[in-house]
């Protein structure tokens, strides 16, 4: 059974830093595409970042240059380092496994989120 | 990357069918068949109900179906049941190799 458990959320001041963790069981983090998705209170889902099994990373424009996604293969853990936090970063942050489409489009292959954690809440206060 | 556009709310009576639209651009839905749909009940994590436009994961009811035409994807729920009342989000892979969610649709079972 796949389980993803996020931790590291909390109350932080504007401009501060926080590192989120996502401990995985039932899957090998380094062999999978893994992603972070966030949801502001009462709002919709927002894609944040993804790390491919190759180590290639991508970010939403809203967090590029401030957030860094990484992983620790020895601990099967995914991380999200968040710097220069803003009030608008306040959200529930979900960790998700990105399953790969069986269909190719040229050299590209899409993904979808088939396993999710329960989320960790980040509150950025001024 | 702007969010994909979904109607804020859709409603239907038990047993009816409803369709939720998801409109993107040629940078996402219009280029790839990599659209997925998620169901989210209050206080819960999202759940995958459709991937790759119309593929249904194991364990998901066959009352859920998906389609796509041009820049617009659609999720249809047939034989609407009380348990289908939830928020639904579409998601698409983009030409920048990033991802984008829809604005979300609240489904109400009357």
Tell me how close the Cα of B6 comes to any Cα of chain A, in angstroms.
11
What is the pLDDT at residue A106?
Answer: 84
Q: What percent of chain A has pLDDT over 70?
A: 100
Tens-digit pLDDT profile for residues A9-53: 999 999 999 999 999 999 999 999 999 999 999 999 999 999 999
- Any CB–CB contact under 8 A between B54 and chain A? no
Nearest to B57 among A108, A114, A119 (CB): A114
Neighbour count for residue A118 (Cβ, 10 Å): 14
Question: To 5 degrees, how large is the angle CA B28–CA B31–CA B33?
Answer: 90
For residue A55, the chain B residues in CB contact (below 8 A) are none
Tens-digit pLDDT profile for residues B25-68: 999 999 999 999 999 999 999 999 999 999 999 999 999 999 99
pLDDT, greater one: A85 or A104: A85
**Which chain B residue's Cα is nearest to A39?**
B45
Nearest to A47 among B45, B52, B100 (CB): B100
Tens-digit pLDDT profile for residues B68-84: 999 999 999 999 999 99
Q: How many CA atoms lie within 13 A of A3 on its CB side?
A: 4
Using CA of residue B20, residue A42, residue A33, residue A66, what is the dihedral sign? positive
Tell me how close the Cα of A78 comes to any Cα of chain B, in angstroms.
18
CA A45, CA B61: separation in Å to the nearest integer? Answer: 23
- Any CB–CB contact under 8 A between A102 and chain B? yes
- Any CB–CB contact under 8 A between B96 and chain A? yes
Q: Would you say residue B14 has pLDDT above 90?
A: yes
- Any CB–CB contact under 8 A between B101 and chain A? yes
What is the pLDDT at residue B60?
Answer: 98
- Any CB–CB contact under 8 A between A1 and chain B? no
CA distances from A70 to A26, A76, A93, B36, B88 (A): 19, 11, 15, 25, 29
CA B110, CA B107: separation in Å to the nearest integer? Answer: 10
Give the residue from B98, B100, B101, B106 with the most A CB atoms within 10 Å of its CB, the best one to mutate: B98
What is the pLDDT at residue B48?
Answer: 98
Q: Would you say residue A104 has pLDDT above 90?
A: no
For residue A35, the chain B residues in CB contact (below 8 A) are 99
When the pLDDT of each residue in chain B is averaged and rounded to a whole number, the result is: 97
Q: Would you say residue A76 has pLDDT above 90?
A: yes
């Amino acid at each position: 059974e796949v389980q993803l458990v996020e931790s590291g959320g909390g109350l932080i001041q504007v401009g501060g830093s926080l590192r989120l963790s996502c401990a995985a069981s039932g899957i090998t983090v380094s062999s999978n595409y893994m992603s972070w998705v966030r949801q502001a209170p009462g709002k919709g889902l927002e894609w944040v970042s993804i790390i491919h099994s190759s180590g290639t990373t991508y970010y939403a424009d809203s967090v590029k240059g401030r957030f860094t996604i990484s992983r620790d293969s020895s601990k099967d853990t995914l991380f999200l380092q968040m710097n220069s936090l803003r009030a608008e970063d306040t959200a529930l942050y979900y960790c998700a496994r990105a399953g790969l489409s069986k269909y190719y489009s040229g050299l590209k292959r899409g993904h979808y989120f088939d396993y999710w954690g329960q989320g960790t809440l980040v509150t950025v206060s001024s | 990357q702007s969010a994909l556009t979904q109607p804020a709310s859709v409603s239907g009576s038990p047993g009816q069918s409803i369709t939720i639209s998801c409109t993107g651009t040629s940078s996402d839905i219009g280029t790839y068949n990599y659209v997925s749909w998620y169901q989210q009940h209050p206080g819960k994590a999202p759940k995958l109900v459709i991937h790759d436009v119309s593929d249904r994961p194991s364990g998901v009811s066959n009352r859920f179906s998906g389609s796509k035409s041009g820049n617009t994807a659609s999720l249809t729920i047939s034989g609407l049941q009380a348990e289908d009342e939830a928020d639904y989000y579409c998601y698409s892979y983009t030409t920048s190799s990033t991802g984008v969610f829809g604005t979300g649709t609240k489904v109400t079972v009357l």
